[in-house]
Amino acid sequence: MNRDEALALIKDVLTGTVPGADATLLSPDENFRNSLEMDSLDFLNFIEALGERTGLPLPETDYPALNTLHGCADYIASRTSGQ
């Protein structure tokens, strides 16, 4: 999966797991967890859905890399390249 595909997937997962989320309004380096007022359960639901859609394990130690659109897209693309 390339970075653009990862970004589209992330936006889709965000809008599907966070009630009222509009990923088109987020800037790429903005902490979407704060901007969308995601509580820990919302974020966990996002992580679980993202893991299911990508087939990747997403360990808690990597959660800080998954708080922005760019960070999340880079993370996913780097781990799915060649799949």
pLDDT (tens, 9 = 90+) of the chain, 83 residues, equals 999 999 999 999 999 998 888 888 899 999 999 999 999 999 999 999 999 999 999 999 999 999 999 999 999 999 997 55
Q: The pTM is what? A: 0.91
| pLDDT at position 82 | 57
Question: Is the alpha carbon torsion for 54, 49, 5, 69 positive or negative?
Answer: negative
Sequence-distant (≥ 6) Cβ neighbours of residue 29 within 8 angstroms: 68, 69, 70, 71
b/e 13-26 (16+ beta carbons within 10 angstroms → b): bbeebbeebebeeb
32 close to 67: Cβ distance less than 8 angstroms: yes
| pLDDT at position 83 | 52
User: Would you identify the CATH topology of the domain 3-80?
Assistant: 1.10.1200
Q: Where are the domains of the chain?
A: 3-80
